[in-house]
Structure 1
Amino acid sequence: MKKILLTLALAFCCVAGQGQTTAIPAGVNIQELNTKWAKFTQYAEQKQINKAVEEGIRVSTLFTQNRQYKEAFATCRQMDALIYYSEQEKKSPEYKLRFMVGKERLRMYTNLKNTEQCKILLKQLHSYTDLLKSDSLQEELLMTEANYYQTFGMTDKSLECYNILFQKRSTGKDEKGIDQCYKDMLGYAEQNNNAPLAIAMRKLYTSWQDSIKAVKTANELNTLQQKYETSQKILQEKEDKITTNLIIIIALCVLSAILAAGLLFLATLLFKHIRQVKKLKHSLQIANENNEQKSKFIGNISAQIEPSLNTIDEATKGTISTPILHENIKALKELMTAIQTYISLEETREEHYPLKELNINTLCESIMEKAKINFKSGVEAVVNVPRVNIKTNAEELERILNHLLNNAAEYTKSGKISLEFKKRSAHTHQFILTDTGTGIPVEARERLFKPFAKIRDLTQGNGLGLPTCSLIAYKLNGTLTLDTDYKKGTRFILELHV
């Protein structure tokens, strides 16, 4: 079907061409017309529809120059046939090509003063530009429409079209661009002998130039006014500055005298402060020495008492009150050992334990298994520790957890004792030991981690276990705390920072 359409269109072009070129009057350049017609036919045969339409419009223009409108309209019909073929081939409308042919027809009907056909064609051209949404085609249509109105004596409408065209071209341009737009419109009016357009554009151009000059003059005047005001302001500022400088000089003199007196006073205070610091350093050194001597003294006493306690223990064997004596002697020995351990930890407080990576689940399971021996019947042991590796000191961690589990076993008659592990962040871990025992009284919580905070029966414990565990936790780069919000027993939290 498409090949048939193209064959018919080409045949129509050739036949029409033969008829047209044989009826050319004497005033026409036959060679030029034949050349353009040959190109038109060649492009049509090569299916170069865009070039064929452009060349066809040139052929039509040559015909209308010699008032051969019949041949010109026939050429337009041939271009319609080619456009129709192109639309069938591409399966899409060729609005731009139809606009070009419609514009050529409008030009011819305008020359023929056929108002009705001109109106129909203008309506078609408007529909094409609306569909294409092309600024260049809209400007072209405005120019064509203005020419149509001018031809039919509708000067006001023609000028209105030119004005819309000018507004489109000048929108968004600077002063130089707008000036060029005016010159282009004036040049077009003079070239086409369009007197009304030339007069209107000259008036607008002159008015615009006057407004530009007025604006420039106003800006220059404003600039001069600003310069004058700035100069006055600078002069006033200089006067104020001179006055201020004088005041500042006087104030500086006064201030210098005050500063000199102040410096003398500060030098006196500094000298006194240096003397006091020296005294404090000396006092601190003496206090540290005394503290060290006190620790050594307590350690020596503990070491010296232990042989005596052993002698008493041996001497009292076989007596009636042996169990009581043995129990108290054992408590005293444990106190001496605990004191020596606590003092040793205190002296090496800032020396942290070496760390090694280990599986925390295996360690906790082992610790709980050993501690279960001391649990009362009916008390459940729970270990909730994932299989993860962390860096810590296994021996010292076990010391803390063993002590906490033994305490929990002593004060828990029923329920459960649980050991949990939680990873709070990439470098923070928590061991949480919870029991359902009697709990710790509120009044005892404040002195829980303080050594020798209460006089007690040594057979019931010496009170150094938790302070010692707190020191071990510190040397493990962590803290041991009591969860005071937990109300169903006792909960200790050992937080380690890796």
Structure 2
Amino acid sequence: MRTRAIISALLGQILFASVYSVYATTIPNKQKLLESFVERQVLYDDTVSLDSVILWSEQLLPSMRSKSDKEMYFLLQLQLANAYTLRGDVSLATDRAQLMYEEAKALKYSFGMVVANQAIGDAYNTIANLTSKALESYHDALNELQHISATHPYRTQLLLKTSNILQRRGRLEEAQKVLSELEIILQQEPDYPTEFFFNIEKTNFAISHGHLAKSYLDEAFVHLQKMDSIYHVHPEKFYRFHLDYTTAAYYRAMGTWDKQYWNKALDIYTQLQKEYSGNKRSTYYRWTSLEKIYLCKIQGMAMEACYIYQELYPPIDTLASQNYIRQISAVKAKYQIDKIAIASNEEYNKIISSILIGSIILLILFSLLAIRLRKQQIRVAQSTQDLAISRTNAENATRAKSIFLSNMSHEIRTPLNALSGFSSLLTQEGLDMETRNQCNEVIQQNSELLLKLINDVIDLSSLEFGKLQFCIGKHDAVSICQNVMDTVNKVKQTQAELLFSTELEEMIIETDDSRLQQVLINLLINATKFTPQGSITLELKIDTDGVALFSVTDTGCGIPHDKQATIFQRFEKLNENAQGSGLGLSICQLIIEHIGGKIWIDPDYTGGSRFCFTHPVNQANRKGAEV
């Protein structure tokens, strides 16, 4: 517990410093920094972290929607989507790509469609075996850009991504043509960010031929030196990772000719893995881990490769990955449907033009086409209605996220302020031991409060997305209630008497005993907060429907009727000044509904408050552990 308290205190200080640094920068300065990132083709630097970029972008983008610089608005949205992807939040990146596409379509803004297609391709690019779909999205973006201008400066970034995918798919001749086109563009219009990433692609192209002749690796080394020269002139932290990663790839290829280079590559991958281990869902950590697995396998270190792979791909990642694929495919399908609709409309216009100059026979065809048009209009009207519903849902989701962040920042601020203030007080000289002990107690209490809040948020998120594990087995409900009563009696901060009432000696039910205890403890602890005197009674009995009925009754202040309907909502608290996240009852409701029961507050009880919930005795069609 002492170690946990120290860690929580340190995390609190770090979070406080991070929040302070983010809000210390003014809105205009944030926008200028983010726009400079777009120009330098980086997602972060030494002064601004990836999380800050995401937070700033989410703050700035709503206010930029109505401004005239639509190109920068969409580029900043792409930057936000790529930042989500790099951090490992592929679902958020996909949501952002969908919003970009819908906004670009509503505005009839072609460059917005280009950037939206790139965002879709980038999302596909993060998932194994979907590089063909990523390539298709990049080709769609290039085709859209062709309608704007055949020499648009943004073409270089799309060509770089196309070259990378072609090389990964082994289509080296096509990749060579793309690289040749890029080389001509760079000769005419030099640009150091594009040149840096161009040399990465040239290095990878030479490495892909390295097994044929060592001279190809000599060519790769030349391009590495060019990258290093650019980095020394423009020492971007974002560039450093790509330089080290590409250097390790070169050493790995050199190992074909001299195996000692494999150790050099392994050292770089290990260092990069360690540097980015703070977020093991990040793209950088996964890239380096996969390369390290490959090197371990070819060097005969099979067990170490297995350990890395198990850490990199837990079972839940497979489910999440399938969900990401469905999300991205839905966005892509919408784009393809719109392309078909546009093509259909163009074809229809041509037919109408022919009919106007045709004969009586063509007039008959016109009648048939009119019927077809009517059907199309019905489908378009339905599609428009569906799009409006989707847009409303997206706006509601965005608003819900904003409310969630606002509530979280409000709840976290209190324990963080206490941790920061009392930690600073402990550093002062001349404090007596009693004062220090009081400070330590306050720090411990607020650390536990902050940890409880974070655990509640994790539980709530896991329950919503089906990630929380439930281990269903046969347990004695009477024994569970007795254990809960013993636990709450030890930690209660009230003079009220805790009672357990039941006529049953034993009641075997199929449940997850730890989750059932969590619900009971939450309800009893809530009761102790509002019942300083009197009694709190936990009752267990068999309902008339053959299900277990639990109830927690107190003689406290009760809950007003106008608040009873919202008491199970998130962050809903009867007393806003009381400690707690306001998530406890929401979590209880999700757990009980998952197990197959129902929870409610008794509106007819007036002697305080009474919470009741049902629990099925037998879990139909449930085996073992459920995710």
- Shorter-chain-normalised TM-score: which range? 0.3 to 0.5
Larger Rg: 1
Structure with higher RCO (Cα < 8 A, 6+ apart): 2
